[in-house]
Amino acid sequence: MELPSLVQASGMQTWTWAGENSNGTELIPRDLFFGDPDRYRILNSLDGKWISFMAPYNDVLNVWIAPLYDLSSARPITNDTFRGIQGYYWAFTNRHILYVQDKDGDENWTIYSVDVITDERRNLTPLEGVNAQLLSTSIKIPHEVLIGLNDRDPSYHDIYRFNITTGEKKLVQKNEGFSYFVADHDLKIRFAANATPDGGEEIFKLLDNGSWEPFIKKEADDDFTTWIRGFDTNDTLMYMVDSRGRETTALTATNLTTGDVQVLVDDLPANIDAFIVHPKTGLIRAVAYTYDRRKWVILDQSIEPDMELLRNTLPEGDVNVYYYTLDDKNWFLSNTQDIGPAHHYHYNRSTGEVRFLFSERSRLDNLTLAKMHPVVINSSDGLRMVCYYSLPVGSDEDGDSLPESPLPMVLLVHGGPWSRDYWGFNSLHQLLANRGYVVLSVNYRGSEGFGKSFINAGDRQWGAKMHDDLIDAVNWSIERGIADPDKIAIMGGSYGGYAALAGLTFTPEVFNCAVDICGISNLTSFLKSIPPYWLPEIEKEFRRIGDYRTEEGRAFLRERSPLTYVDRIKKPLLISQGANDPRVKQNESDQIVQAMQARDIPVTYLIYTDEGHGFVRPKNKLSFYAVAEAFLAEHLGGMCEPIGDAFENSSITVPTGAEGVPGLAEALKK
C-alpha cells in the first residue's frame, strides 16, 4: 500500500520584492514547509527485517513499517487520529515498537507497545497526570524495559521494570531524591545523580549492598558538558563525554573493573554531538562535532572506507549515520543539505550499494530554495559566535553572499537557551526567505556545542549580554549591507520568545516588530511554575537564570523580566501560546498581554487550546504561520500567502488584537 498524498501539485504563484534589482521568484505555499512531511524519522529492527518511519495516516503522523527492500508494502501500525505520534523506538525483540503520546501537549507521557506482527497494542503506563520516561532497553533482555514513573511523588521518578508483551511491572529502584539514573545492558541501575547547591552535580555509584558511594563530582562549569554516554554490551566499559580539565568535550572510556580511564578523543574545535556505535559490541566507532558544519572523527579504522564511500557517493551535505542491523551489514543514514529536505538512504556494507529510500518533503526537491550561509560574528566583548543567514533567492546576483541592496530581516532566536542552531534545511528560514526576508540565526553565548566557557558565559545574562550578542549580530548585518535597519523583526519560541519580548522592551529602537511564541515575560513566575519533575535540578536553574529565594534575587529577576518594562513597547507584537504548556505556562503570555491592555498598547494574542510548548499539530502550525507571515508582511513589507482556509481544523483562538493583522478577523469568521 502506497502512502497517501505523497505527490501533489504545489500551486505556486509569482511575486517580486521591492529592491533596487528586483527579481521574480515563486511563492511557495506554506504547507510545503509546515504540513506533515512525506516520511521521516526512519528506524529499523535490529535483525534488518523491517524499517519504520513516521508518515501521515488519518491526517496525522503515525508509525509505518515496511520490509527493508519493499517500501511499496508499507503499512501503518499505529492509528492515532488527533495529535499524531510524538516519538517511537524499536524494542530488541525485533517485533515490538514502543511509542509515546501525551494529552494536548501536557508532556505527561504515556508509553505504548505495539506488536508489528499481530498489531496488538498495549498501554504500559495507563496513569493520569504521570510523566512516564523510557530509561533503558536491552539487547540482552529484549522483552523488558526500564521506565521511570513519578506517580508516587511528582518530583521524582521511581524506576520500574516492564515486560512489554504482558505489561507486568516490578519496582527496581525507589527514588529517594535523585535527579536521574543510569542503567546498563542488564537493566541494572549503576549510577544516579543529584544537583549540588552550587549548580553542579554529583554522580553516585550503586554498590552491591544497595548503598551509594560518590563516583564523580561535576563542578557547575562542567554540568552541561560532562555526562555518561553509556556502556559497551559487556557492561565493563563506561563511555563519558567529559569537559573536566578541558574546554571542549572529550570522549573517555572507563574500565569499570580496574578504574582505568582512557581518553579516546580530545581537543576538538567543538563539543561531541553524535556517535556511530557497533551494534553488537556497543563500542563507539566514531564521534561527530559541529562547529559550523558536522565533521566525523573515526576511532574504528575499519569503517573509514565506508565513511569515505558515503562522502564520495552522496550529494554535498552533512552525512549522519544513525542506525544499523545487528550483523553490521546494513546502515541507515541521512544526508542533510541546506537547499532541500533531508534524504534518507540504506547502505549495504557487503555490496557497497547506497540505496535512496525517500525524501522527507519530496515536493520541495525540485524547487529553488535559499542557501544557508555559515558565518562567525564577533560579539562586542570578543566572543566568536557561529551564525547562519539565508538570503532570498535571486537577491545575490554576483554571488558574493550579500544582497545587491539591504533587505528586510527577521532575527530568528533559538530556544533553550541551552541549545543551538545548525546548518541545514530549516523550514522557517526557507519560508521567510521565500517571502523576501533575510533570515539570521545567532548562536549567542549560552548556546551549547562551542565549549564550556561559551555556554557558561550565558549564566545570569538573560536580557543582558545574551541580548547584547543578538544586537551585535544585527549591527553586523546592517554594517555589511545585508539588513535594512528600518525593517528588522525579532522572532522566536521559548527563550527565543523571551528574546522577542526583550527586543521590544530592552532595545525598543532596534526592531520594527516582534513575534513571541510561548515566551517568558516574568522570570520569577516562570521559575516558580516549572514542572515538579524539574525541581530536583532547580539549583541549576537558579545558577543559570537567577534565584527568587532572596529579595536581592527577586530584584535581579525583575530587572531582567520584559514585563517590568512593558511601558517601553512601541512596536507591533504578535504573541502565541499553547494553553497546556507545562514549561512556560500560559500565565507568562497572559501577564504581558494584560499589562499591555491596561496601558492601551496594542497586541495580537493567539492561544491554541490543544497545544503545549510549541506546535505539534500541523493544522495549528499552518494557522500560526499564516498569521505570522501576514503580520510580518504588514510591518516589514515582504510578501505573504493569504490566510485563506489555514484555520480549518485548527484550535486557534484570538482573545485580543485580531484587527492588528490583515485578514485575521475575516479568517476567524469562516
Counting DSSP H helices and E strands in the chain, the numbers are 12, 38
Does residue 344 have an active-site annotation? no
Chain-centroid distance of CA 337 in Å reads 17
DSSP state of 177: S
Residue 307 lies inside a defined structural domain of this protein: no
Confidence of residue 1 (pLDDT cuts 50, 70, 90): very low
The size of the chain, in residues, is 670
Residue-wise pLDDT for 50-87, tens only, equals 999 999 999 999 999 999 999 999 999 999 999 999 99
Give percent above pLDDT 90 in the chain. 96
Domain that holds residue 505: 372-522+569-668
Confidence of residue 24 (pLDDT cuts 50, 70, 90): low
Residue 605 pLDDT > 60: yes
Residue 583 pLDDT > 60: yes
Residue-wise pLDDT for 401-410, tens only, equals 999 999 999 9
Give percent above pLDDT 70 in the chain. 96
Report, as an integer, the average pLDDT of 353-363. 97
Residue 90 lies inside a defined structural domain of this protein: yes
Q: What is the rounded CA–CA span in Å between residue 437 and residue 457?
A: 31
Report, as an integer, the average pLDDT of 434-442. 98
Specify whether the CB–CB gap between 545 and 527 falls below 8 A. yes
Report pTM.
0.94
Residue 670 has a pLDDT of: 82
The region of weakest confidence among 1-5, 14-18, 280-284 is 1-5
Residue 620 lies inside a defined structural domain of this protein: yes
Number of domains in the chain: 2
Residue 78 lies inside a defined structural domain of this protein: yes
Spot the catalytic one: 547, 613, 623, 635.
613
Report, as an integer, the average pLDDT of 295-313. 97
Q: Is residue 135 helix, strand or coil?
A: strand
Average pLDDT, whole number, for the chain? Answer: 94
Report the CATH number that the domain containing residue 498 is assigned in CATH: 3.40.50.1820
Ramachandran area for residue 625 (φ above 0: left; ψ -120 to 50: alpha; else beta): alpha
Residue 6 pLDDT > 80: no
Q: Which of 179, 194, 229 is the last residue of a domain?
A: 179
Report, as an integer, the average pLDDT of 142-153. 98
Does residue 581 have an active-site annotation? yes
Report the CATH number that the domain containing residue 135 is assigned in CATH: 2.120.10.30
Residue 216 lies inside a defined structural domain of this protein: no
- Paired sense of beta strands 604-608 and 652-656, if any: antiparallel
The region of weakest confidence among 2-11, 150-159, 242-251 is 2-11
Report, as an integer, the average pLDDT of 433-459. 98
Q: What is the rounded CA–CA span in Å between residue 189 and residue 192?
A: 8
**Residue 121: φ, ψ to 5°:** -110, 140
Residue 635 lies inside a defined structural domain of this protein: yes
Ramachandran area for residue 292 (φ above 0: left; ψ -120 to 50: alpha; else beta): alpha
Residue 212 lies inside a defined structural domain of this protein: no
Confidence of residue 46 (pLDDT cuts 50, 70, 90): very high
Residue 514 has a pLDDT of: 98
Confidence of residue 26 (pLDDT cuts 50, 70, 90): confident
Residue 18 pLDDT > 70: no
Describe the chain by its helix, strand, coil percentages, rounded to 5: 20, 35, 45
Q: Which of 152, 179, 206 is the last residue of a domain?
A: 179
Q: Which three cell numbers stand for residue 638?
A: 515582504
Report, as an integer, the average pLDDT of 500-516. 98
Specify whether the CB–CB gap between 578 and 612 falls below 8 A. yes
Residue-wise pLDDT for 448-506, tens only, equals 999 999 999 999 999 999 999 999 999 999 999 999 999 999 999 999 999 999 999 99
Spot the catalytic one: 223, 472, 516, 581.
581
> CA-based Rg of the chain, rounded to a whole angstrom?
25
Q: What is the rounded CA–CA span in Å between residue 407 and residue 348?
A: 47
Residue 3 has a pLDDT of: 27
Confidence of residue 656 (pLDDT cuts 50, 70, 90): very high
Q: Which three cell numbers stand for residue 12?
A: 505556486
Residue 573 lies inside a defined structural domain of this protein: yes
Residue 14 pLDDT > 60: no
Residue 22 pLDDT > 50: no
Q: Which of 179, 197, 228 is the last residue of a domain?
A: 179
Residue 9 has a pLDDT of: 27
641, amino acid identity: E
Of the candidates 399, 185, 421, 433, the residue with the CA atom closest to the CA atom of residue 291: 421
Spot the catalytic one: 45, 447, 477, 494.
494
Q: At how many degrees (to 10) do helices 495-505 and 465-479 cross?
A: 70
Dihedral sign of CA atoms 468, 469, 474, 478 in order: positive
Residue 5 pLDDT > 70: no
Confidence of residue 144 (pLDDT cuts 50, 70, 90): very high
Q: Is residue 351 helix, strand or coil?
A: coil
Beta partners for residue 388, in sequence order: 374, 441
